[in-house]
A and B are shown apart, each in its own frame.
Chain A
Amino acid sequence: MTFVNWLKRNLVVIAGLLTLAYLLLPNVIVTVFSFNKPNGRFNYEWQQFSTDAWKDPCGVADMCGSLALSLQIAFWATLGATALGTAIAFALVRYRFRARGAVNSLIFLPMAMPEVVMAASLLTLFLNMGAQLGFWTILIAHIMFCLSFVVTAVKARVMSMDPRLEQAAQDLYAGPFQTFVRVTLPIAAPGIAAGALLAFALSFDDFIITNFNAGSTVTFPMFVWGSAQRGTPVQINVIGTAMFVVAVLFVLASMVIGNRRNRRKA
Chain B
Amino acid sequence: MSTLTEAPPPLAPAAPEKKPPRKRGRFTPYWLLLPGILWLVVFFALPMIYQASTSVQTGSLEEGYKVTWHFATYWDALSEYWPQFLRSVAYAASATVLCLLLGYPLAYLIAFRAGRWRNLIMILVIAPFFTSFLIRTLAWKTILADGGPVVGALNTLHVLDVTSWLGWTAGDRVLATPLAVVCGLTYNFLPFMILPLYTSLERIDGRLHEAAGDLYAKPVTTFRKVTFPLSMPGVVSGTLLTFIPATGDYVNASLLGSADTGMIGNVIQSQFLRVLDYPTAAALSFILMAAILAMVTVYIRKSGTEDLV
Contacts and interface: CB of A to CB of B under 8 A. Distances in A.
B206 interface: no
Nearest to B34: A87
B229 interface: no
Contacts of B194: 19
Given A29-B143, A248-B127, A240 B190 contact: no
Contact of A22 (B33, B187, B268, B278): B187
B124 A23 contact: yes
B78 interface: no
B106 A24 contact: no
B130 A207 contact: no
Nearest to A108: B309
Contacts of B30: 91, 97
B23 to A, nearest CB: 13
Interface in B163-213: 187, 190-191, 194
B38 to A, nearest CB: 9
B35 A87 contact: yes
Interface residues of B, number: 83
A124 interface: yes
B36 A84 contact: yes
Contacts of A60: none
B136 A27 contact: yes
Interface string A221-249: 10011001000100011011101101110
A240 B292 CA distance: 33
Contacts of B24: 176
Contact of A141 (B43, B141, B278): B43
B109 interface: yes
Interface string A106-117: 111110111111
* Interface residues of A, dominant DSSP: helix
A168 interface: no
Interface stretch (A9-17, A159-167, A184-192): A9-17
Contacts of B140: 26
A248 B123 contact: yes
Contact of B131 (A16, A117, A176, A241): A241
Contacts of A225: 134, 251
A30 B139 contact: yes
A143 B41 CA distance: 13
Contact of A147 (B39, B134, B250): B39
Size bracket, chain A contacts: 35 or more
A113 B51 contact: no
20 contacts: A15-B105, A15-B109, A19-B190, A23-B128, A27-B131, A91-B32, A104-B309, A114-B245, A115-B248, A116-B268, A121-B51, A122-B47, A124-B54, A127-B278, A143-B43, A144-B43, A208-B251, A212-B269, A220-B132, A236-B138
Interface of B: 11, 24-25, 28-30, 32-33, 35-37, 39-41, 43-48, 50-51, 54, 102-103, 105-110, 113, 119, 121, 123-125, 127-143, 145, 187, 190-191, 194, 240, 244-245, 247-251, 255, 265, 268-269, 272-273, 278, 281-282, 285, 288-289, 292-293, 296, 309
Interface of A: 12-13, 15-17, 19-20, 22-27, 29-30, 33, 44-45, 83-85, 87-88, 90-91, 94-97, 103-104, 106-110, 112-118, 120-125, 127-128, 140-141, 143-144, 147-148, 151, 173, 176, 201, 204-205, 207-208, 211-212, 220-221, 224-225, 228, 232, 236-237, 239-241, 243-244, 246-248, 251-252, 255
Given A87-B32, A106-B45, 19 more contacts: A16-B105, A20-B124, A24-B128, A104-B309, A113-B244, A114-B244, A116-B250, A117-B288, A122-B47, A125-B50, A143-B39, A201-B130, A208-B248, A236-B135, A237-B135, A240-B135, A243-B130, A244-B127, A252-B123
